Structure 1
């Protein structure tokens, strides 16, 4: 389920108070970090969206998560990029595999941007 949440000014103020309270008595662990990130976004007045996913997701959900078309994702599955299982005629992908693939894509993009920035800096120094 995906629920868009656009904060009102009152929500933003409440998020700021909650964030201050969380920072005064810091909690540890992944959940605390997640809550802090969420509150920071809300305190800044940004809209947030919470998406709940099962451990296995459909090809459409995976494509949306990766920001690609479903046919392109199916092509990647057929090339062996993703382990999956079939439920009747439908493919189910493991969420952790999709997220790992996304992290790899993000790392590649970051490396390419850094290489481009380095090249531009070298050109400017010449």
Structure 2
């Protein structure tokens, strides 16, 4: 495979409806999925490849562009901010605190996509754990049993 083929690539949704594809990728899998070439040759798609295809089809069907990027892809701090949904200064603080590894070969910081995805996964896990703990505390305090009195109108 050539290096240019492994670069980040964004694809806009097609101008034609994807209804049949959406229906196909939403069906539960029973067995394997095959790609059929024009000459009739069949290629079995690994589950991971089908999952990428499924997600891409669903995103494009809802009008979203899709970006495919290899995990060794490096990102700018602005690209990291866009991916995480935070400001660029917030990303810089995360980098400086060591929460996401980065390299700074010159003036600009570069961050590996895989490191951003690992941070995002850790953050989501921490958020879920915190919410679980809040529910636990509420249950221990019987807060789920307390109800407000209905508002009386005059």
TM-score band by shorter chain is 0.7 to 0.9
TM-score (norm 2): 0.61
Q: Which has the higher helix share?
A: 1
Asked if 1:110 corresponds to 2:128, the answer is: yes
Question: Which of the two has greater strand per residue?
Answer: 1
Q: 2 CA distance for matches of 1:120 and 1:29?
A: 40
Whether 1:124 and 2:144 are equivalent positions in the alignment is yes
The change in CA–CA distance for 1:81 and 1:31 in structure 2 (over 3 A counts) is same
Residue in structure 2 matched with residue 100 of structure 1 by the alignment: 118
Question: Counterparts of 1:117 and 1:47 in 2: how far apart (Å)?
Answer: 37
Question: Helix, strand or coil for the counterpart of 1:125?
Answer: coil
Question: Shift of the alpha carbon at 1:76?
Answer: 1.5
- Rounded to whole Å, the distance in 2 between the matches of 1:71 and 1:42 is 29
Please state whether the residue corresponding to 1:99 is helix, strand or coil.
helix
Stretches of structure 1 lacking an aligned partner (at least 5 in a row)? none
Over alpha carbons, which structure has the higher Rg?
Answer: 2
> Is 1:23 the equivalent of 2:29?
yes
Whether the 8 Å contact between 1:77 and 1:83 is mirrored in structure 2 is: yes
Greater relative contact order, per chain length (Cα 8 Å cut-off, separation 6+): 1
Partner of 2:104: 86
State the superposition RMSD in angstroms. 3.1
Tell me whether 1:64 sits opposite 2:82 in the alignment. yes
Aligned length: 122
Q: Which residue among 9, 15, 20 is the counterpart of 1:13?
A: 20
